[in-house]
Chain A
Amino acid sequence: MKIAARFLPVAALVAAATIIAGAQAKAPRTSWGTPDLQGVWNTNTFVPVERAPQYGTRAMMTEEEHAKALADLQERNKRPGRDSREVAGKPAIGTEKDVARAYNEFWFGDKPTKLSYRTSMVIDPPDGRIPPLTPEAAKRIADKREFLAALLQGTSGGHPGPISPRRAERSPDYNLDRINRADGPEDRGGPERCFGNGMPVVMGTGTFGGVMQLVQSSDSVSLYYDIGQGSGFAWVAPITNRPHLPKYVQLYRGDPIGRWEGDTLVVDVTNFSDETDFRGSRENLHLVMRFKRVDANTLSVQFTADDPTTWAKPWTAVQELEKADEKTTQILEPGCHEGNYGLMGMLINTRAAEKAFREGKGPDPATQDNATGGGDN
């Protein structure tokens, strides 16, 4: 049936409304009218954080590029896991490395088999790479690396040489790394002290990649990240007009404040402390996160990271999370600190090793690599 010309604008409007209504049906909404961000979310699709140079400023791969990258991924998947107890293909039994490694593919397993068409998580700057470090940040990181290397000097995991006198020094920063020393809990770094992950979370794939549960009301958005070995945590972004806490108040996962901008939940996070480290950024980190329900099965989590004392300019990355089946993907209890016999064990046994050395019954613990576990002696 031919539609008279004068009805076309209205027909277009109605058609547009129908299309909009259709798109809204795919991304669900809450009963109070905002997009519904809720669910249990994880990802089984691999995306590199930074873009390989061959893609230039392109955010998406071509079909051909994707097929090749997928083949490369499958090749990489065949290699032993990063925690392999093997050296040159053979078990390295009775070595420090054998003691140190605990896990095979069973634990890290589920190597990603899906590959995103995204060339990188980083979408700004346009080259898909994190901006360079500022000179002060580069120095900070170099100083720390020097200190770590000094503590490994003369061990199987470090440069040859005498035991460094720097073993008597305090770490140049608030130590979050595993260093080759166990004088006290501070030497064991964040993960071994069960500090828990900080924000933002870039989720991995597979069993060890973690899951995130999001519960939402008109008041707040409550995230629970179940990641790592019990280093999960809860994080609540209130949807409010209140200002941030005073600048000197430093919180481990910052002070999040949320607001809706159209269909995107924008969460502004400041007030971080020096006890978390996000790729070199500590207390001066400013995050702007953007949560968007793309469709029924996809939640886009984007963040812009800004820290003029660390990066030359701000940068933005995005991760598309996939909806998981709640019946089979449970949120498990965190609890790392409660069961952290390892931290006690390291202190107790280092004291025992020191005592044995004093009594002439064992090697000097300073000559052992108790940091990387990668010694080949």
Chain B
Amino acid sequence: MSQETHDSFTENIPAYVLGAIGWAEASALKAHLETCPVCQAELARYQQISDGIARALPLQMSPRSVRGKLLASLEKTETSARPKTRWGFRQFATGVLALVLISTNLIAFLQIRELRQQHLQLADQVEQQHTILGMLAASTEIHSIRGDGFSGHLLLDREKNLAYLLTWNLPPPPQGQIYQIWLIDPNGDETAAALFRPEFDRPFTSAALVTSRTFVEFVGVEVTIEPSGGSDTPTSEPILSVNY
């Protein structure tokens, strides 16, 4: 990698820790960080500032009412998890009547809450989707992936020479290890394309594949679990593979 490219990644780190760079740039920077100790150290410094900003504001007391509401929510959860008791007909009928009366409002409330939740989740993914959708031209191939407890897609645009691996519900790798993506050429030889870890707080993970060659020179993609920092060649069996 050229010094110029490295410098452009380094310059992006302050904005990255503030969450102020676009998803595609962030994805490329994350891939670079996996292999660049200089940028990792830089990230650690700026991350301290970013984390600090969250803690640095003059303290405001939280409202007392929230604690009670949380407690009620937890008790409701616990109650719903208890084994069902055997009811007599009168108790059952009274319960049904009460449920009918309550459910009219409750269903509406839950539907609104569900819709709101869906809206929030969608809004959260808009930026990612903008980039991904940008790839979904007629020339983009979508290859489905299904593994043990997870699923995903490989998006490949041979014309633009872009490829992204999207996975859902991929578990974190064992401690001290990382997922590594390999491009497979027609001879079956592997070339490292990216390192990634599942996102900290969401089930959806994306990784941009990086190669100095063109994707048409390869015929497939594999993912293995490797020691942190990655390997020159795979040292474990693939957890997923897809031919394109």
Task: Specify whether A and B are partners.
Answer: no
- Residues of chain A touching chain B, judged by Cβ–Cβ distance below 8 Å, are none
